[in-house]
Amino acid sequence: MIFIDTANHISALAAKMAKPHVIAAYPITPQTTIVERLAEYVESGQLNADFIRVESEHSAMAACIGASAMGARTFTATASHGLLLMHEMLHWAGLARLPVVMVNVNRAIGPGWNIWSDLNDSLSQRDTGWIQFYASSNQEVFDNIIQAYKIGESEEVMLPVMISYDGFTLSHTSMPVEVPEQSKIDEFLPPFKPAWKIDVENPITHGNIVPPEPYMEIRYSMQRAMERAKKIIEEVGEEWGKKFGREYDLIQEYKCDDADYVMVTMGAISAEARFAVDELRKRGEKVGLVNLRTFRPFPYEKLKYEKMIVIDRNVSPGLGGVVYHEMKKTGKDLYGFIAGLGGVDVSYKDFERIYELAKRGKEGWYPLEVK
């Protein structure tokens, strides 16, 4: 079945079809229409779930943590400053190994107040222990949410999962999305079987004081789970492809086989970069594109190309582009550009210009530093 709708409504539909037991909701632009639509599903009886209206995003994540610890499948959504308010509880969910699934609609951080997209909000949470997916289309939004539950709930993983996509560019833009029947989703996604849960019949100690050595072991186990998640992400993406015709990996490659330079992007600007690659190819330029689907775990081993042009829609002040510096571990030739902060448009013409600048050995803030 084909639905033509915004990414936010598609998110709500995907969450409904994953059949969560508990939804925690707090509004924030440009996320609000996700939880509004989920409220309609619950109120109309289309979704049998407890819908918890909380007083803040911090409480939304706390509610998901409590429900997940009781063995419930959970969902919430947020954006920008709402995600930042969750920061403490994001660490808690990761360390407690609770597979909460959350959508984050990327929006710039203030002040000044800005409701347009860049990726600083989600990338600033990169050390909390959450798997992070980035979608470049509404179809990917739907597919990633369903897969997120199967990946996060895997016994080999048991980590929370964040699905991010660009505010307004996707959140409020309608696109056609292929949506399988509920019975097919049920075949793909089995009921949640928690690795641990709070049970009065089988009491455990949880969240107590932890001595240094066991704490280090906990951190180590979370790192190992993140490493194992790469294999599970690939397996789940392959299974999704066999069942629904759209296979997923840690990255998405486009015209990379013979490329002299490969552009690396993340999120909605990847669609514009893809068009730029086509235009450059018409001029005889051997250019490819890698769209990073996953940021955590980071797919170092997939980024094998000798010359890569990294376009970051984010900045870590005092360091530079987050993805660019993550990719230094690959040991390849990198050309880093920071572009599109605060919703500044990055058109295919800009990608063409960035490519020409990289060929001349230039990099930096585009267009502020590179001329």
- pLDDT at residue 361, as a whole number: 96
Give the pLDDT band (50/70/90) at residue 204: confident
Asked, for residue 133, whether it belongs to a domain, the answer is yes
| Number of domains within the chain | 2
- pLDDT at residue 205, as a whole number: 82
- One-letter amino acid at 100 equals V
CA distance 62 to 150: 22
| Model confidence at 371: pLDDT above 80 | no
Q: Domain containing 195: what range? A: 2-244
Query: In this structure, are 216 and 268 located in the same domain?
Result: no
Give the pLDDT band (50/70/90) at residue 53: very high
- pLDDT at residue 337, as a whole number: 98
Helix boundaries (H) for 156-253: 182-188, 212-244
Asked, for residue 370, whether it belongs to a domain, the answer is no
Give the pLDDT band (50/70/90) at residue 264: very high
Query: In this structure, are 238 and 270 located in the same domain?
Result: no
| Model confidence at 335: pLDDT above 80 | yes
Query: Cβ atoms within 10 A of the Cβ of 33, count?
Result: 20
pLDDT per position as a tens digit, 12-34: 999 999 999 999 999 999 999 99
Query: In this structure, are 127 and 27 located in the same domain?
Result: yes
Q: What's the mean pLDDT in 143-167?
A: 98
- pLDDT at residue 207, as a whole number: 82
* Domain stops at, among 220, 244, 268: 244
| Model confidence at 362: pLDDT above 80 | yes
CATH code at position 207: 3.40.50.970
Asked, for residue 205, whether it belongs to a domain, the answer is yes
Query: In this structure, are 161 and 285 located in the same domain?
Result: no
- pLDDT at residue 30, as a whole number: 98
Query: In this structure, are 274 and 212 located in the same domain?
Result: no
Query: In this structure, are 187 and 325 located in the same domain?
Result: no
Query: In this structure, are 314 and 199 located in the same domain?
Result: no
* Domain stops at, among 229, 244, 259: 244
* Domain stops at, among 244, 272, 294: 244
Average model confidence (pLDDT) for the chain?
Answer: 97
| Model confidence at 201: pLDDT above 80 | yes
CA distance 35 to 44: 14
| Residue closest to 65 by CA, chosen among 75, 55, 50, 51 | 75
Asked, for residue 300, whether it belongs to a domain, the answer is yes
Query: In this structure, are 113 and 223 located in the same domain?
Result: yes
Query: In this structure, are 335 and 191 located in the same domain?
Result: no
Asked, for residue 87, whether it belongs to a domain, the answer is yes
CA distance 72 to 64: 9
Query: In this structure, are 290 and 213 located in the same domain?
Result: no
Query: In this structure, are 239 and 260 located in the same domain?
Result: no
CATH code at position 265: 3.40.50.920
| Global pTM value | 0.97
- pLDDT at residue 34, as a whole number: 98
Token pair listed for 103: 């959508």
Asked, for residue 338, whether it belongs to a domain, the answer is yes
Q: What's the mean pLDDT in 157-180?
A: 98
Non-local (6+) Cβ contacts of 214 within 8 A are: none
- pLDDT at residue 346, as a whole number: 97
CA distance 318 to 122: 18
Asked, for residue 167, whether it belongs to a domain, the answer is yes
CA distance 53 to 36: 11
Non-local (6+) Cβ contacts of 219 within 8 A are: 95
Token pair listed for 46: 């289309």
Give the pLDDT band (50/70/90) at residue 206: confident
Query: In this structure, are 256 and 229 located in the same domain?
Result: no
